[in-house]
A and B are shown apart, each in its own frame.
Chain A
Amino acid sequence: MAWKQDGFGRRRVLKGVAGVAGAAIGSGAVSGFPVIWAQNNKDIVLRQFGTGVSNMNEIAEKCKADLGITLQMTALDSDAVTQRAVTQPNSYDIADIEYWICKKVFPANVLQAMNVKKIKYFDQIVPIFTSGKLKPDSVIAQGTAPNIVSFVEGAGSTKFAKGQTDWFTMIPTIYNADTLGIRPDLVGRKIDSWKDILDPKFKGKTSILNIPSIGIMDAAMICEAAGIMKYGDKGNMTRAEIDKTIDFLIKTKKDGQFRAFWKTFDESVNLMTSGEVVIQSMWSPAVTAVRAKGVPCVYQPLKEGYRAWGGGLGLARHLSGAKLDAAYDYINWYLSGWVGAFLNRQGYYSAVLDTAKKFMTEDEWGYWMEGKPAKGDIKSPQGKVIEKAGAVRDGGSFYDRMGAVACWNAVMDEDRYMVQKWNQFIAA
């Protein structure tokens, strides 16, 4: 498909062939905005589903205004997302799923890989998703690092490729580095390690999340930090490692260290604001939500590093013709900056930083991405003040945070066994 502003592209647009929205953009070098996008997708409806975090109505509205594409969003919880992706492949056009579950979903032959040549900003995508290395000298973290599942061997293939190919499985939407959240007013001591959650002082005031595949990783970070054991790969444990981790969790649970285990975003927010727990696994926007209620909460950087996760958009296998072209338009629009800025302002990271930067103020960019103190008030995309002037983001800059990832959310080879053991832990 023609992306450069050349005659061929124009003619195709004029002919009314769907899907060459990019032809109306200035050539790559001149990226001044407001961008005028071609409006030849008026009758196209794309059905997208995913978790609530990136499925936002604002994005659908802006997409309609810019591209003319009607985006029908369905927000589900992460379990339901996986089930729908695999069992009802005709019920969606675009799947917004996480990288770790992509390892399971993609081989089920329900999605189609994208040709990187049609992805305009492909070269500018943060290299975590392509080479796997944030910087050329970075070491790839443990677990299902996105680059492992980002490429398949060819068009129509469902086999993940070892290195980079022209066939990209998912366009990264949002990703982040997770750590423990604390109540600085209630912990009464310095917190700098995952093992601090085991401090007897916090007995009955801690929580970890009860999503087996993610909870086990937090547990592994804790076990390793506490010197209980050392893992070959936390994202792909052996049976012996799983046994030992779960045994330790059961012992800790029986000792009454945990107040609760949470499964949804709001549960984690409520546990923290109500003072039921003072230190727990948390997601970044949950910390923001706690603070928004006037309750102090810190997303504490820890010396062992972060547990990272990421989500992406995959195209349904059944897409073809005008709809497939529209989907590429949507993806290219998604990466062109507005969405990236919108997501960055919520504390997530977006796929293409250079384009997102153009849609953010210098102060916003400094606060969210560079770890600089805010010069003015920092507002959420909805216009609500979430940080006052002078605030600094917990954990610092993008490179400080994403550069300190110890492991990625993962799906293990022994996941069948792991879930059995996890059930044992919950039932214990």
Chain B
Amino acid sequence: MKPTRNWIPYLQVAPLGLVFLTFLVIPIATIVVVSFFDYNTTEIIPAFLRQNYEELLASPVTWETYLQTVEFAVITWLLTFPIGFTLAYFLAFHVRSAAWQTVLFLVCTIPFWTSNVIRMISWIPFLGRNGLANMTLMKLGLIHHPLEFLLYSNFSVVLVYVHLYTLFMVVPIFNSMMRIDRSLLEAAYDAGASGWQTLTNVILPLCKPGIAIGSIFVVTIVMGDFVTVRMMSGGLSASVALMMANAMSLLQYPAAAANAVVLLILVLITVGLMMRVVDIRKEL
């Protein structure tokens, strides 16, 4: 190989590399650096202290909040996965005409034409003490007192997560399903597999990359969320990102940065585990 050829691949990856460097590596490096800084009421002081991490990790609140955040992520995943899978399955295998598939798929995305904050807060009048849900149930005589847990509770938080993020599960799974060679299903049928066996032995394994991508979307979004938790729990619950927002509101950037680094590590580990289960690149 001629020596001049050696640098050509580097040149080819340079644009992407620069974008990553500018918008990913440098910001994250900054966060890591700041997380070791000291601060007081008025300024951030360059230093190398472990205090931010010590304060963070020594506090039982941190652990409770992380536990709560992980709990939200797990419950949301447990709900969005079966719902998303069912929806995708219906679209991919029950709807036969390509035109209808496209139409129904678009229908799924219509709610996304509005801001997700709007979709979130529109639940509030529905779930409230004097809201539609409670009024209807009371008029039907099913309950005698309004159900208070419907709003400003972990229930409402998870409900909104599921509402907002199920589509992130539907899209990649649907995409995986559409790539399945239909002759495989026929082969399974010919070999005497029941519908359930086809689903568990053929479709599910072939959808693994889609499921993994959808899961990464849902889990990372939920773990980094603070708006939904704040709005739907009425401030009664916390999330990791909400802790950071509170710290930043009083200019305690190093404390928030330390928290961000810990959250980043946790999310990376989670994503890493998912990647171990499913090799996304191999199966795409």
Given A426-B235, A426-B242, answer yes or no on A204-B148 (Cβ-Cβ < 8 Å): yes
Q: How far is the CA of A94 from the CA of B131 in the complex (A)?
A: 43
Expressed in whole angstroms, the minimum distance between the Cβ of B140 and any Cβ of chain A is 21
Would A258 and B236 count as touching, CB distance under 8 A?
A: yes
A199 in contact (CB, < 8 A): no
Which residues on the A side are within 8 Å of B237 (C-beta)? 426-427
Q: How far is the CA of A43 from the CA of B254 in the complex (A)?
A: 41
Given A274-B125, A275-B129, A423-B243, answer yes or no on A108-B42 (Cβ-Cβ < 8 Å): yes
Residue of B nearest to A253 (CB): B236
Given A108-B43, A275-B129, A276-B151, answer yes or no on A423-B65 (Cβ-Cβ < 8 Å): yes
Given A79-B248, A259-B152, answer yes or no on A104-B41 (Cβ-Cβ < 8 Å): yes
Q: How many A-B residue pairs have CB under 8 A?
A: 104
Expressed in whole angstroms, the minimum distance between the Cβ of A324 and any Cβ of chain B is 24
Would B235 and A262 count as touching, CB distance under 8 A?
A: yes
Expressed in whole angstroms, the minimum distance between the Cβ of B241 and any Cβ of chain A is 12
Given A259-B152, A259-B234, answer yes or no on A423-B61 (Cβ-Cβ < 8 Å): yes
Which residues on the A side are within 8 Å of B65 (C-beta)? 423, 427
User: Residue B130 contacts which of A267, A274, A423 (CB distance < 8 angstroms)?
Assistant: A274
Q: Please choose the segment from A45-53, A59-67, A209-217, A308-316 that sits at the chain B interface, where 4 or more of its residues have CB less than 8 A away.
A: A209-217
Task: Map CB proximity to B onto A66-91 as digits: 1 under 8 Å, 0 otherwise.
Answer: 00000000000011001100100000
A419 in contact (CB, < 8 A): yes
A424 in contact (CB, < 8 A): yes
Contacts of A403-428 to chain B: CB distance below 8 A: 411, 413, 415-416, 419-420, 422-424, 426-428
Which residues on the B side are within 8 Å of A103 (C-beta)? 41
User: Residue A427 contacts which of B55, B68, B148, B248 (CB distance < 8 angstroms)?
Assistant: B68
A260 in contact (CB, < 8 A): yes
Expressed in whole angstroms, the minimum distance between the Cβ of A107 and any Cβ of chain B is 4
Expressed in whole angstroms, the minimum distance between the Cβ of B260 and any Cβ of chain A is 15
Residue of A nearest to B67 (CB): A427
Q: How far is the CA of A104 from the CA of B249 in the complex (A)?
A: 12
Expressed in whole angstroms, the minimum distance between the Cβ of A312 and any Cβ of chain B is 18
B97 in contact (CB, < 8 A): no
Would B61 and A416 count as touching, CB distance under 8 A?
A: no
Q: How far is the CA of A103 from the CA of B39 in the complex (A)?
A: 15
A131 in contact (CB, < 8 A): no
Interface centre among A261, A262, A420 (most CB of B within 10 A): A420
Residue of A nearest to B249 (CB): A79
B246 in contact (CB, < 8 A): yes
Contacts of B217-257 to chain A: CB distance below 8 A: 230-231, 233-238, 242-243, 245-252, 255
Expressed in whole angstroms, the minimum distance between the Cβ of B130 and any Cβ of chain A is 5
Expressed in whole angstroms, the minimum distance between the Cβ of B225 and any Cβ of chain A is 15
Would A260 and B246 count as touching, CB distance under 8 A?
A: no
Given A107-B42, A261-B234, A276-B129, answer yes or no on A420-B251 (Cβ-Cβ < 8 Å): no
Which residues on the B side are within 8 Å of A104 (C-beta)? 41-42, 250-251
A270 in contact (CB, < 8 A): yes
Q: How far is the CA of A71 from the CA of B124 in the complex (A)?
A: 37
Given A204-B148, A275-B129, answer yes or no on A419-B252 (Cβ-Cβ < 8 Å): yes
Would A415 and B129 count as touching, CB distance under 8 A?
A: no
Which residues on the A side are within 8 Å of B42 (C-beta)? 104-105, 107-108
Given A79-B248, A82-B249, A262-B235, answer yes or no on A275-B130 (Cβ-Cβ < 8 Å): yes
A263 in contact (CB, < 8 A): yes
Task: Map CB proximity to B onto A257-284 as digits: 1 under 8 Å, 0 otherwise.
Answer: 0111111000100110011100000000
Would A427 and B64 count as touching, CB distance under 8 A?
A: yes
Which residues on the B side are within 8 Å of A411 (C-beta)? 41, 250
Which residues on the B side are within 8 Å of A258 (C-beta)? 236
Q: How far is the CA of A152 from the CA of B39 in the complex (A)?
A: 23
Would B238 and A426 count as touching, CB distance under 8 A?
A: yes
Residue of B nearest to A79 (CB): B249
Q: How far is the CA of A420 from the CA of B243 in the complex (A)?
A: 9
B200 in contact (CB, < 8 A): no
Which residues on the A side are within 8 Å of B252 (C-beta)? 416, 419
Would A79 and B245 count as touching, CB distance under 8 A?
A: yes
Contacts of A21-65 to chain B: CB distance below 8 A: none
Would B250 and A415 count as touching, CB distance under 8 A?
A: yes
Given A108-B42, A274-B125, A411-B41, answer yes or no on A213-B250 (Cβ-Cβ < 8 Å): yes
Would B235 and A274 count as touching, CB distance under 8 A?
A: no
Expressed in whole angstroms, the minimum distance between the Cβ of A150 and any Cβ of chain B is 17
Would B235 and A212 count as touching, CB distance under 8 A?
A: no
A interface list, Cβ under 8 A from B: 78-79, 82-83, 86, 103-105, 107-108, 204, 207, 210-213, 253, 258-263, 267, 270-271, 274-276, 411, 413, 415-416, 419-420, 422-424, 426-428
Interface contacts beyond A274-B128, A423-B61: sample of 4 additional A-B pairs, CB < 8 Å, sorted by A: A78-B249, A212-B246, A275-B130, A276-B128
9 A-B contact pairs sorted by A residue (CB < 8 Å): A82-B251, A105-B42, A213-B250, A260-B234, A274-B124, A276-B151, A411-B250, A424-B61, A427-B68
Ranked 8 nearest A-B pairs via Cβ: A260-B234, A261-B235, A79-B249, A427-B238, A424-B61, A210-B235, A107-B42, A426-B238
